[in-house]
Amino acid sequence: MLLGTVSFWVFLFYFATPSFPGWAIKNWLPTLFSDSLGIEMSKAGPLSTITIAFSSFIGVITGGIISDRWISRNLRGRIYTGTIGLSLTIPALFLIGFGSGLVSIISGGILFGIGFGMFDANNMPILCQFVSPHHRAAGYGLMNMTGVFAGAFITSWLGRSTDAGKLGRDLALLAIPVALAVILLLATLKPKVADKVED
Question: What integer pLDDT is reported at residue 35 of this predicted model?
Answer: 77
Q: Which class for 7: exposed (0-12), middle (13-18), buried (19 or more C-beta within 10 A)?
A: middle
- Is residue 183's pLDDT more than 80? yes
Buried-state track 27-46, b at ≥16 Cβ within 10 A, e below 16: ebbbbbbbbbbeeeeeebee
**Rounded to an integer, what distance in angstroms lies between the CA atom of residue 64 and that of residue 81?**
9
Return d(Cα 125, Cα 168) in angstroms, integer.
Answer: 33
Cα angle 16-32-150, degrees, rounded to a multiple of 5: 15
Instruction: Note the pLDDT tens digit of each residue in 46-72.
Output: 888 899 999 999 999 999 999 999 999
Measured between alpha carbons, how far is 171 from 54 in angstroms, rounded to an integer? 21
Cβ pair 10, 188 in contact under 8 A: yes
Q: Is the pLDDT of residue 32 over 90?
A: no
What is the DSSP secondary structure assignment for residue 131, as one 8-state letter?
Answer: S
Buried/exposed code over 121-133 (b: 16+ C-beta within 10 A; e: otherwise): bbbebbbbbbbee
Sorted by where each starts, the structural domains of the chain and their CATH numbers stand as 28-188 (1.20.1250.20)
CA angle 167, 181, 157 (to 5 degrees): 25
Q: For the chain, give the percent of residues with pLDDT over 90.
A: 33
Predicted TM-score (pTM) of this structure: 0.88
Does 77 score more than 90 pLDDT? Answer: yes
Summarize the confidence of residues 92-115 as an average pLDDT: 88
Whole-number pLDDT of residue 64: 96
Instruction: Using the Cα atoms of residue 96, residue 101, residue 104 and residue 107 in order, give the sign of their dihedral.
Output: positive
Instruction: Note the pLDDT tens digit of each residue in 185-196.
Output: 888 888 889 898
